[in-house]
């Protein structure tokens, strides 16, 4: 990014991956950057993302396949991710002294899986480039003079930058600062928004008290889920109010669409992943003798206690084909599970919805608010876990920084 002829002042509101990456690119180009954040420190959700199972930065799959993970938003995300693709993100991580590796699933992680080392090195670079940080500055919108207004412990503070980047995140994990409060601010400015919804989230199933009390907190793995012809294998976790887990998160977009269309979503669960229906029938032909039905399913069918519990929970006793082995095998291989709602947004990994792309120009600037750009999870895109979420935030941060640089030059 080329140097500016005159020193310009940029306000970036939100200290997550999108905002910090834009700050890095702009400050490297000679722009004066201040990062405002409502929390006492920046990068809190970024730190949280690396606290369980490692920081999944991106994914190693081929770029064309990678882009399809953004579903309906792919045409809008294409240019941003192509200009700062997964390999560029990996190289950036290496440049901060953090080596990476590719896991067995193709996901890319720093060798030191915790995100604190990467964030520490990143913030050091930003400070060396002159980026200023203004913590405990909660953005409340624009005042009558068109200035940015912030609530601080010392009272209201206003700023009139040459350009502004909004990178305030979605509305999941609100304790990290991503609470979606910006929705009301932008709605007052008549910015076109898609409603925020939970993504990469759990779903509600109205369990019986017995099943919930007995099996909540237990995993079902490996398991295969099928919805609308889309089949994925992974781990499913029974919760006290429904289901969650990697395979559920990956299907959350499709399941949400079913909920919108029908008021419910039906997913078929294969309780004996890796075993064909024909082979399962042969196993179930073993003499039952005096065994209870549950013991028979465990020994002959190879089902776990939680799988047996789920089979009984979702099938009324009068409908359970105890004496029809072929029907029983088909039911075990495709048990219908009815989901009635998404789990609460605060428990979701990410959110879908946000600032609509038709409210932006091709440089991520609001069409009706010159000099105001948007990046990261605030935008109306959605992606599964696996590195696609962070990549989308980093890439749109770079794209918005490029848009801001062009705006300043003009």
The predicted structure's pLDDT at residue 48: 87
Report how far residue 186's alpha carbon sits from residue 193's, in angstroms, rounded to the nearest whole number: 8
CA proximity to 199, closest of 380, 395, 396: 380
Computed over every residue of the chain, the mean pLDDT equals 94
Residue 168 has pLDDT above 60, yes or no: yes
pLDDT digits (tens, 9 = 90+) for 132-167: 999 999 999 999 999 999 999 999 999 999 999 999
222: preceding bond cis by omega (within 30 degrees) = yes
Residue 238 has pLDDT above 50, yes or no: yes
Confidence of residue 322 (pLDDT cuts 50, 70, 90): confident
Cα 169 to Cα 25, 89, 254, 320: the distances in Å are 19, 19, 22, 47
- Per the CB < 8 A criterion, the answer to whether 244 and 202 are in contact is yes
Residue 231 has pLDDT above 50, yes or no: yes
Specify the residue for token string 């709605």.
187
The predicted structure's pLDDT at residue 5: 47
- Per the CB < 8 A criterion, the answer to whether 348 and 354 are in contact is no
- Per the CB < 8 A criterion, the answer to whether 310 and 335 are in contact is yes
Calculate what percentage of the chain has a pLDDT beyond 70: 98
The predicted structure's pLDDT at residue 323: 87
Report how far residue 60's alpha carbon sits from residue 63's, in angstroms, rounded to the nearest whole number: 8
Report how far residue 293's alpha carbon sits from residue 122's, in angstroms, rounded to the nearest whole number: 58
CA proximity to 138, closest of 190, 195, 178, 196: 178
Sheet holding 32-36, edge to edge: 132-134, 32-36, 9-13, 163-166, 372-374
The predicted structure's pLDDT at residue 57: 95
The predicted structure's pLDDT at residue 50: 75
Residue 82 has pLDDT above 70, yes or no: yes
CA proximity to 384, closest of 256, 242, 241: 256
Confidence of residue 113 (pLDDT cuts 50, 70, 90): confident
The predicted structure's pLDDT at residue 310: 97
pLDDT digits (tens, 9 = 90+) for 3-54: 554 689 999 999 999 999 999 999 999 999 999 999 999 999 999 887 766 8
Task: Name residues whose C-beta falls within 8 Å of residue 338's C-beta, 6 or more positions apart in sequence.
Answer: 205, 264, 265, 266, 314
Q: Is 178 left (phi over 0), alpha (psi -120 to 50) or beta?
A: beta
DSSP 277-328: HHHHHHHHTS--TT--HHHHHHHTT---HHHHHHHHHHS-GGG--TT-HHHH
Confidence of residue 317 (pLDDT cuts 50, 70, 90): confident
Residue 356 has pLDDT above 60, yes or no: yes
3-state secondary structure of 337: strand
**Which residue spans within 148-187 are E strands per DSSP?**
148-152, 155-159, 163-166
* Structural domains of the chain in order of their starting residue, each with its CATH number: 9-198+351-409 (3.50.50.60), 203-342 (2.40.30.10)
CA dihedral 37→40→46→50, nearest 10 degrees, is 180
Count other C-beta atoms under 10 Å from residue 309's C-beta: 20
Which stretches within 153-242 are classed as H helix? 182-188, 209-215
290 compared with 33, residue with greater pLDDT: 33
Report how far residue 175's alpha carbon sits from residue 348's, in angstroms, rounded to the nearest whole number: 12
The predicted structure's pLDDT at residue 288: 86
DSSP 206-217: ---HHHHHHHTT
Q: How far apart are the first and last CA of the chain?
A: 14
The predicted structure's pLDDT at residue 72: 93
Confidence of residue 289 (pLDDT cuts 50, 70, 90): confident
pLDDT digits (tens, 9 = 90+) for 201-222: 999 999 999 999 999 999 998 8
Backbone torsions φ then ψ of 344, nearest 5 degrees = -55, 145
Report how far residue 127's alpha carbon sits from residue 405's, in angstroms, rounded to the nearest whole number: 20
Task: Name residues whose C-beta falls within 8 Å of residue 177's C-beta, 6 or more positions apart in sequence.
Answer: 37, 38, 39, 44, 45, 169
Residue 343 has pLDDT above 60, yes or no: yes
Average pLDDT, integer, range 229-240? 92
pTM of structure: 0.91
Confidence of residue 117 (pLDDT cuts 50, 70, 90): very high
Cα 152 to Cα 157, 161, 390: the distances in Å are 7, 18, 29
Confidence of residue 242 (pLDDT cuts 50, 70, 90): very high
Report how far residue 201's alpha carbon sits from residue 243's, in angstroms, rounded to the nearest whole number: 9
């Amino acid at each position: 990014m080329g140097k500016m002829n005159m020193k310009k002042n940029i306000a970036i509101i939100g200290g997550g991956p999108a905002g910090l990456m834009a700050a890095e690119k702009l400050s490297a180009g000679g722009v004066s950057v201040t990062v405002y954040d409502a929390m006492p420190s920046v990068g809190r959700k970024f730190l949280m993302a690396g606290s369980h199972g490692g920081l999944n930065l991106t994914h190693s799959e081929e770029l064309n396949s990678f882009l399809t993970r953004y579903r309906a938003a792919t045409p809008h995300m294409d240019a941003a991710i192509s200009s700062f693709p997964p390999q560029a993100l990996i190289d950036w991580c290496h440049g901060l002294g953090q080596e990476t590796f590719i896991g067995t699933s193709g996901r890319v992680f720093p060798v030191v899986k915790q995100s604190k080392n990467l964030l520490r090195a990143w913030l050091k670079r930003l400070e060396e480039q002159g980026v200023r940080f203004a913590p405990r500055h909660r953005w409340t919108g624009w005042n009558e003079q068109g200035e940015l207004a912030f609530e601080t412990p010392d009272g209201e503070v206003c700023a009139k930058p040459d350009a502004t980047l909004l990178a305030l995140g979605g509305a999941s994990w609100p304790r990290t600062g991503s609470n979606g409060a910006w929705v009301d601010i932008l709605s007052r400015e008549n910015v076109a928004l898609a409603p925020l919804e939970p993504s990469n989230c759990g779903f509600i199933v109205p369990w019986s008290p017995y099943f919930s009390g007995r099996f909540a907190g237990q995993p079902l793995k490996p398991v295969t889920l099928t919805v609308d012809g889309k089949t994925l294998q992974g781990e499913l976790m029974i919760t006290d109010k429904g289901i969650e887990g990697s395979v559920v998160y990956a299907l959350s977009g499709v399941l949400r669409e079913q909920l919108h269309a029908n008021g419910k979503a039906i997913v078929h669960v294969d309780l004996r992943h890796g075993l064909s229906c024909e082979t399962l029938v042969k196993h179930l032909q073993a003499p039952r003798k005096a065994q209870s039905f549950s013991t028979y399913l465990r020994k002959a069918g190879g089902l776990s206690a939680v799988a047996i519990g789920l089979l009984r929970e979702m099938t009324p006793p009068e409908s359970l084909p105890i004496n029809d082995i072929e029907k029983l095998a088909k039911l075990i291989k495709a048990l219908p599970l009815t989901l009635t709602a998404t789990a609460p947004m605060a428990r979701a990994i990410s959110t879908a919805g946000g600032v609509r792309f038709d409210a932006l120009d091709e440089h991520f600037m609001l069409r009706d608010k010159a000099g105001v750009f948007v990046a990261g999870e605030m935008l109306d895109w959605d992606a599964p876990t696996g590195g696609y979420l962070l990549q989308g935030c980093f890439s749109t941060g770079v794209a918005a920084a490029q848009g801001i640089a062009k705006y300043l030059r003009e």
